[in-house]
Amino acid sequence: MKILVTGGFGYIGAHFINRLKEHEILVVENFCQGRNNVIEGIQYKEVDIRNKEKLLEVFREFRPDIVVHYAALANVPDSVANPAKYYDTNIIGSLNVLECMREVGCKKIIFSSTAAVYGQSDELINEDHPKNPTSPYGHSKLMFEQILKDYHRAYGISSVSFRYFCASGCDEGGKIGCYHDPETQAIPNLVKTLLGKQEIFNVWGGDFPTPDGTGVRDYIHVNDLADAHILAIKKLEENGCFDYNLGINKGFSVMELIKEAERVTGKKLNYKMSPRRAGDPATIIASSMKAQKELRWTPKYTDIGEIILTDYNFFKTQ
């Protein structure tokens, strides 16, 4: 099978490709996060998905059977400050991908969505939970999910949309990892501080309506996300428009992360309480039962200490 992967050398895309076997892969990448996750032997084209003319050339040459669409901007606070660039990439760029698929007759796409489509909830969130994004980033992903439904109805393009909760961890082989700049996720910033690569860890918000006042998140290991995408390839043998949450069905506050990181590393963290970031909900925890039932997907990394250590061990080598 010929698989075109947009953003395939980004954090999640590279972990997917690293675990994918027996397929012909072409990565479309603009390298906005650098080239550290380039995987040897994987062919790629340096193209921005907003450049429809160049993108169409790639599609016509490769003629994929399926597209895995990771390419996006994904910084919640930045999307609040700069919504235009998020709609430009996450909507217009993504529409270019769909239109190129139509041009070459490709009828299958796996889409990298987000739990940010939901907004705040104190309960486990299933796929039918009301959608109430608190940021332009979340809005852009929800809009594209609707576009996928419309394209399925009108043009017969089948899709799987994965709503990631907090993607975390790194491959234990140490060859690929998290190279976001700036880094906004809690665990990478936490372990970088423990390793002395940055001076202090900011706890963004200590006045949320949670037991200890800090934000609560469901942290899902990036290899478990990658495995779900591999299972989705088979799911798309069916005609339809499918959506799934991906998380471990359990939430941890930032203070709980700190305590667990100190426990598993034996180091003391230098941190400070800082004001909330724009667009951050207090609590968001997945119910991933639908993915477990329909895809037969089961997350292997359910111990938060183990997830933290995979990041810690990766950043030790950087």
C-beta neighbour count of 192 within 10 angstroms: 19
137 is catalytic: yes
Catalytic residue among 137, 219, 244, 312: 137
CA–CA dist 218, 69 (Å, integer): 23
For tokens 């936490």, the residue is 190
- 17 with 80: CB under 8 angstroms? no
CA–CA dist 157, 230 (Å, integer): 18
CA–CA dist 124, 129 (Å, integer): 9
Q: Which is it for strands 166-168 and 252-253: parallel, antiparallel or unpaired? A: unpaired
Alpha helices in the chain (DSSP H): 11-19, 52-62, 76-81, 83-87, 94-104, 136-155, 186-194, 222-235, 254-265, 289-294, 304-316
Burial tier of 292 (Cβ tally within 10 Å: 0-12, 13-18, 19+): middle
Q: Write b or e for each residue in 56-84: b if 16 or more Cβ atoms lie within 10 A of its Cβ, otherwise e.
A: bebbeebebbbbbbbbbbbbbbbbbeeee
Burial tier of 110 (Cβ tally within 10 Å: 0-12, 13-18, 19+): buried
Q: Enumerate the active-site residues.
A: 137
